[in-house]
Structure 1
């Protein structure tokens, strides 16, 4: 059974509520949607209230680590993907 968003590391009730508004309700949804697409969905829905840290937090949640533990290369790669894949 897939974890609820609010039970994943780095992602709490506020993030879970925002993700639910873009139809991401559990870990499986987040994995299948993809963190970059989820980030774009959050940015579209919530604008400037969503920062790049949300992207890092979602990636780290899938990896099961603290978002601050992501290495610089991973963060740069995520930022680049987010820039390239804008809608």
Structure 2
């Protein structure tokens, strides 16, 4: 599967996408237009599948762990499921 240019770019793309899904603040200027389109499609199509919300707490859509705060699920997805998030964006 085609990947982004380097690991730093991939991490930046994943951070942006996860923050969009969780409705955390994002820096719109940090993403180029090509990647922005991919991320927007990912958020619309698969955003609800990577994060589950139950009774105000967040659960991981990949492994089912939780409950997390919004910040906690953000960190969990970045640290544990970075590659899965990137694969989902690139699909």
- Compute the TM-score of the two structures, normalised by the length of structure 2: 0.30
- Compute the TM-score of the two structures, normalised by the length of structure 1: 0.31
| Greater per-residue helix proportion | 1
Q: Larger Rg: 1 or 2?
A: 2
| Greater per-residue strand proportion | 2
